[in-house]
Amino acid sequence: MRALAFVVAASLVVARPLVAQRIQVSQLITVIDSVTGLPLAEVQIVDLRTRSSTLTTMTGTAVVTVLDSAGALITLRKIGYRPVTRLVPVAGRDSVLTLSLVPLPQPVPGVVTAGSAGTPHRGPADTVRTLELNGFYERRRSTTAPASAFATEETLLRLTTLVDLRHLTGRGLCAQNLYVDGMRVRVDRSFYSWLRPDRVAGIELYTHGPEIPAMYNVTQPSGSSSICATLIWTK
């Protein structure tokens, strides 16, 4: 009877699901052009869990630190290429993970911008870079959200304060889940004074959970996902 009990207990131990463990492993990554096979330099690699980032070198390589046995979830972005999200598994020593980026089939859309007197930005090219690098155009083409989720340049020119967004678009800022240039911020009394419309390059207003990009759909203290999100990109 004791032997049978031992066998049953051992089987229960074996059947127990594996739980991800905290580790620290360096993984070398090489990023290439999917068409030419050539290495891509200055690809922005962001760890979606830790929000840490790095750029690939002239040889298209970068080192990503994996902190979880389940792997690291990263996103890769470069102007002129389609952004991608990949899971970096825990690999053996000296292994190299090769990832490819697909060139965009069409040129980056033009954006008309103008800085206010005294606070001019560096020009339209920098504004396009800001939006492209953060996937603004890609989401606008492929999102399930309606067109009203993206404030147009005409709308931005009509704003005197971001509070006016609710009146012009029917979608106000999501104060509980608000990001400026990818960083989550809190809305306080000073927010609308330091972030003026003339400093804004693009705004995304999501009011339904399924519309929110996965990397910005944070979990609330109650354990539920966000029901809204606002992404603001500045010049």
118-139 pLDDT, tens digit per residue, is 444 455 667 777 788 788 888 8
Residue 107 pLDDT exceeds 50? no
CATH number of 22-101: 2.60.40.1120
* Mean of all residue pLDDT scores within the chain: 78
The label of the residue with tokens 């609710």 reads 166
Closest CA to 206 of 195, 198, 196, 217: 217
Residue 113 pLDDT exceeds 70? no
Residue 40 pLDDT exceeds 90? yes
| More reliable by pLDDT, 155 or 45 | 45
Give yes or no for a contact between 235 and 121, defined as CB atoms under 8 angstroms apart: yes
Counting Cα atoms < 13 Å in the Cβ hemisphere of 100 gives 9
**What does the alpha-carbon distance between residue 47 and residue 74 come to, in Å, rounded to a whole number?**
4
pLDDT category, 7, cuts 50, 70, 90? very low
User: Taking residues 199-206, what's their average pLDDT?
Assistant: 88
Long-range contacts of 133-140 (CB under 8 A, 24+ apart): 133/44, 133/77, 133/78, 133/79, 134/77, 134/181, 134/182, 134/231, 134/233, 135/77, 135/83, 135/213, 136/202, 136/204, 136/233, 137/108, 137/109, 138/82, 138/83, 139/204, 139/213
pLDDT category, 34, cuts 50, 70, 90? very high
Residue 194 pLDDT exceeds 50? yes
pLDDT digits (tens, 9 = 90+) for 18-29: 556 777 888 999
pLDDT of 19: 55
Residue 168 pLDDT exceeds 80? no
72-77/44-47 β-pairing: antiparallel
Name the residue ranges covered by the structural domains of the chain: 22-101, 124-234
pLDDT category, 161, cuts 50, 70, 90? confident
pLDDT of 17: 46
From residue 183, give the alpha-carbon distance in Å to each of 117, 174, 212.
27, 14, 15
User: Taking residues 133-147, what's their average pLDDT?
Assistant: 83
183-185/178-180 β-pairing: antiparallel
Q: What's the fold here for domain 124-234? A: Ferric Hydroxamate Uptake Protein; Chain A, domain 1 (2.170.130)
